[in-house]
């Protein structure tokens, strides 16, 4: 009975984190962009520092009319937001946040599991684009699929490099065997992994699939109200997941001073710092064209990921 209770408590904790952390990232994005771009709007709702901006956004989306295009495939159109969102919840279950097996559910082949599940999220964009009966939405969905195929390879190669260094595919196992000397020689792989994850989330500067100047808002053009809000929630949940995975694989996850007591705090701080970097990139970098995005993946990130994998193999042989 205790085992069942323990599992339920862990899953409840993951669900709470899934509902809270993406909203905090969304609130932080409003504030960071307001400061960096001198935008006063997000600083007014609720008084001090615009603390109620997130509440105001939620009320706004709830009041908007939920429309479905006349020519749309209604079932697929309505299901797409959930398909985009749920994979991030599933991935959070497998991410360790502290020592002594503090994880929702340990998975033996954790790296393969999380990467496979993350790849499902793009189906939400494809479903939304195809079902909307809108040529701009369809073009946005196809761009998202092409971007996923390009950036999935460096993402997998750099994750494989960490698995090779640790000698295990288990995420808790990787952290149990973590050594700080990994960080310098896995640094390039970490940068490639984080950048590829940013591209898969279609975040700036890799947001060509939703470029409003070209294709209105890509696959999500026909969405409104709470369904559109679910796509935004999926985006923020993706930021949390990619940041947490980068922290686990390349920055030691919960490792830090007094990790036995402060492990979850270190994990939260590293995830938060990387999430801030995602927001900063949106403000600081101009959008790449679709062809530039593809070229960057195949001519820069893939060779760097292969070089990192080769370096890891050499180090493993030399230190064996």
- Give the integer Cα–Cα distance in Å for 23 and 309: 35
In this structure, is residue 45 part of a structural domain?
Answer: no
In this structure, is residue 249 part of a structural domain?
Answer: yes
- Give the integer Cα–Cα distance in Å for 140 and 147: 11
The stretch 185-189 carries a mean pLDDT of 89
In this structure, is residue 35 part of a structural domain?
Answer: no
Query: To the nearest 10°, the Cα dihedral for 66, 23, 194, 200?
Result: -10
In this structure, is residue 171 part of a structural domain?
Answer: yes
In this structure, is residue 227 part of a structural domain?
Answer: yes
Burial of 287 (0-12, 13-18, 19+ CB in 10 A): middle
In this structure, is residue 44 part of a structural domain?
Answer: no
In this structure, is residue 34 part of a structural domain?
Answer: no
In this structure, is residue 51 part of a structural domain?
Answer: no
- Give the integer Cα–Cα distance in Å for 255 and 248: 9
pLDDT in tens, 144-186: 888 888 999 999 999 999 999 888 899 988 888 888 777 888 8
Q: What proportion of the chain, given as a percentage, has pLDDT over 70?
A: 98
- Give the integer Cα–Cα distance in Å for 210 and 129: 11
Contacts of 112-116 with C-beta under 8 Å, sequence gap 24+, read 112/169, 114/171, 114/245, 115/152, 115/155, 115/156, 115/159
Domain span at residue 125?
Answer: 67-319
> What is the pLDDT, as a whole number, of residue 185?
83
- Give the integer Cα–Cα distance in Å for 236 and 141: 19
How many structural domains compose the chain? 1
Higher pLDDT, 2 or 14: 14
What's the pTM value of the predicted model, to 2 decimals?
Answer: 0.91
- Give the integer Cα–Cα distance in Å for 29 and 252: 25
């Amino acid at each position: 009975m205790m085992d069942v209770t323990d599992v339920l408590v862990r899953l409840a904790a993951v669900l709470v984190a899934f509902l809270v952390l993406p909203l905090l990232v969304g609130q932080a994005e409003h504030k960071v962009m307001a400061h960096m771009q001198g935008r006063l709007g997000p600083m007014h709702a609720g008084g001090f520092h615009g603390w109620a901006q997130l509440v105001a956004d939620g009320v706004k989306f709830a009041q908007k009319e939920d429309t479905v295009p006349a020519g749309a495939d209604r079932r697929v159109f309505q299901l797409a937001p959930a398909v985009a969102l749920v994979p991030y919840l599933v991935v959070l279950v497998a991410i360790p946040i502290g020592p002594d097996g503090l994880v929702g559910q340990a998975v033996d082949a954790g790296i393969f599991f999380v990467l496979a599940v993350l790849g499902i999220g793009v189906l939400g964009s494809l479903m939304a684009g195809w079902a909307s009966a809108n040529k701009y939405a369809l073009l946005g969905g196809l761009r998202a699929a092409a971007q996923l195929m390009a950036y999935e390879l460096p993402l997998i190669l750099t994750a494989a490099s960490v698995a090779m260094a640790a000698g295990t595919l288990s995420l808790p196992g990787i952290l149990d065997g973590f050594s700080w000397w990994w960080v310098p020689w896995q640094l390039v792989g970490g940068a490639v992994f984080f950048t590829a994850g940013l591209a898969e989330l279609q975040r700036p500067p890799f947001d060509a699939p939703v470029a409003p100047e070209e294709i209105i808002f890509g696959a999500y053009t026909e969405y409104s109200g709470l369904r559109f809000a679910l796509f935004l929630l999926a985006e923020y949940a993706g930021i949390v997941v990619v940041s947490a995975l980068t922290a686990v694989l390349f920055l030691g996850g919960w490792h830090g001073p007094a990790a036995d007591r402060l492990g979850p705090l270190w994990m939260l701080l590293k995830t938060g710092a990387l999430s801030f970097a995602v927001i900063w990139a949106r403000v600081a970098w101009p959008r790449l064209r679709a062809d530039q995005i593809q070229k960057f993946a195949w001519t820069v990130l893939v060779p760097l990921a292969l070089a990192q994998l080769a370096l890891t193999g050499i180090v493993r042989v030399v230190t064996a």
